[in-house]
Structure formats: structure tokens, C-alpha cells
Amino acid sequence: MNKAKSETIKDGKAFLRSAFSAEQELLKIQLKFSETSITHDGVMGEVNEQHFIHVLRKYLPKRYAVDHGIVIDSNGTTSDQIDIVIYDNQYTPTLLDQHDHRFIPAEAVYCVLEAKPTINRVYLEYAAKKAKSVRTLERTTVPIPHAGGEYPAKPLFPIIAGIVAADIDWSEGMNSTAFLSNLNTLIGEQKLDCGVALSDKSFDTYDNGVLTINQTINCFAYFIFRLLQKLQSLGTVPAVNWNKYAQFIDG
């Protein structure tokens, strides 16, 4: 009997905690390696984005695409470049793809995340600005025909926004007054719903806006499972009014 099998028999929960902890440590090592071996900040940022994207793709169902990109609406208005976009690619195509460049229709977006080396006041505000650039875009929604008639247009859900990082600058981490104070200043379209610092903890406000900070060593797994539950609660994205996009093209 191998070690993993014997551990599951002895204590299955402890086995899972240990396995997820090892995966989190691997991600931390990958981020640290890029920090110490890549001499260009822009390239290092792109590599670290891909590390986070890779893990999210592993755990999110295939109905959710995970990429970096720019979000666009039917008026041709675009967001800032977004590090990580979780979006629908089953019913909503991306536009004008060129290698790693793509425009993602605003209606397709579930969640946007910024990947940064650390969490501090500057990066929280930066992530909030990126979130606003997506949330202010126009999203369309139309009824969906079916054999017996049509389903009404799906209401638009709030787009999730957050930040992921290796570290956090405050010595007390997410328990610090400074972190909480800076987070609470971000409201409305700049609100950050979730985040994780691999060296510390994760947070989210999924439960009726109440801030939850996890206290486990497996903060990234906790972050992913909470995100999965939130995505599940959103259901599917709205049906796009493609005629609105056609009108923009037609001038």
C-alpha cells in the first residue's frame, strides 16, 4: 500500500489538507523562482499571471474559461488590460483573437482578478481601478427562445473582482487594521470581493457582503472553493444581444 493510500485510510481530511498545502507550497516556489530569476518586471508579471491561471484552470469546471485579456462592450468601449478573467466561452465567443490577445465581451465575464507580487494599499487601489474599468461597461441581455415560447432576459449579476498575490505587506496580514481600512475604502464599482496572499490568508465578502477571512494554512484552496461556490450561485451568463454588436459594426 502506498503512502497516499495509507494516509487516506488513517485520516482522509488530514490527507486532503496536506495535499492542498503541498500544492500551495509549489505555487509559492514557482512565484519565488520567477521573482529571483526573471530580470524584467513586465515579463515576471506575465509569468506569475500564468502560474495563477494554470492552477485556476485545473480546478474550475470547463464551462469557465480563464485567461488574461481586455473586456469590450457593444459600444466598442474597452476595459484596461486584465490579468485574469474568468468568463463564459461556451455561449459567448471571444473577439479578434491574435495569439494571446483577445477581446472578451462584457456579457461573458464572471470574475476579474489582478495578480500582483504582494497586497498593499497601492495594489489594492490598482486592482479596484481595473475592476471599475470592467464593471462600467455596458452589458446586454435578451430573452432566450425555446420550444414552448421564450425564457425572460436573465438579470445581470454583479461581476466578481479581486486580487491574488504571493505576499502581503502588512506585518499582521489580513488581520491588520491597515488592510481592513484600505479594503473598506473600495466601494461601489471599485469594491474587491475576494483576494488571497499565499503567505497569509484569503478573504471574501460573498456572504451578504460580510467580510470573511480564513484562518487556515490552505488559504489558496479555501479561496478556490469559496470562488467555486460563488460562481455556482451566479448560474449562467446572460444571452448577448448580438444585434447591438451588429449595429456598432454597421455604423
Model confidence over 152-197: pLDDT tens digits? 999 999 999 999 999 999 999 999 999 999 999 999 999 999 999 9
- Give the SS3 label for residue 235: coil
Give residue 173's pLDDT: 95
pLDDT-above-70 percentage for the chain: 94
Structure confidence at residue 6 as a pLDDT band (50, 70, 90): low
Distance of CA 77 to the CA centre of its chain: 21
Give residue 175's pLDDT: 93
Query: 197-234 burial by CB neighbour count: b if 16+ within 10 A, else e?
Result: bbebbbbbbbeeeeeebbeeebbbbbbbebbeebbeee
Q: How far is CA 17 from CA 6, 48, 53, 218, in A?
A: 15, 24, 22, 7
Q: By the 8 A CB rule, do 73 and 106 touch? A: yes
Handedness of CA 104, 118, 61, 141 (dihedral sign): negative
Question: Mean per-residue pLDDT for 200-206?
Answer: 96
Give residue 81's pLDDT: 96
**Quick one: CA torsion of 145, 147, 148, 153, rounded to 10 degrees?**
-20
Question: Mean per-residue pLDDT for 107-130?
Answer: 97
Structure confidence at residue 39 as a pLDDT band (50, 70, 90): confident
Give CA–CA dist 45/22, Å, rounded.
23
Phi and psi, residue 8, nearest 5°: -65, -35
Give CA–CA dist 14/81, Å, rounded.
40
Higher pLDDT: 167 or 47? It is 167
Give residue 251's pLDDT: 63
Pull the grid cell for residue 155.
Answer: 438579470
Is the pLDDT at 2 greater than 60, yes or no? no
Instruction: Supply angle C-alpha 217, 218, 223, rounded to 5.
Output: 130
Structure confidence at residue 27 as a pLDDT band (50, 70, 90): confident
Question: Mean per-residue pLDDT for 70-94?
Answer: 95
Catalytic residues: 83, 114, 116
Question: Mean per-residue pLDDT for 55-75?
Answer: 95
Question: Mean per-residue pLDDT for 30-42?
Answer: 81
Give residue 9's pLDDT: 46
Give residue 5's pLDDT: 47
Higher pLDDT: 32 or 136? It is 136
Residue-averaged pLDDT of the chain: 90
Structure confidence at residue 101 as a pLDDT band (50, 70, 90): confident
Higher pLDDT: 39 or 166? It is 166
Structure confidence at residue 37 as a pLDDT band (50, 70, 90): confident
Give CA–CA dist 25/75, Å, rounded.
44
- Give the SS3 label for residue 160: strand
Selection from 29, 92, 94, 91 nearest residue 68 by Cα: 94
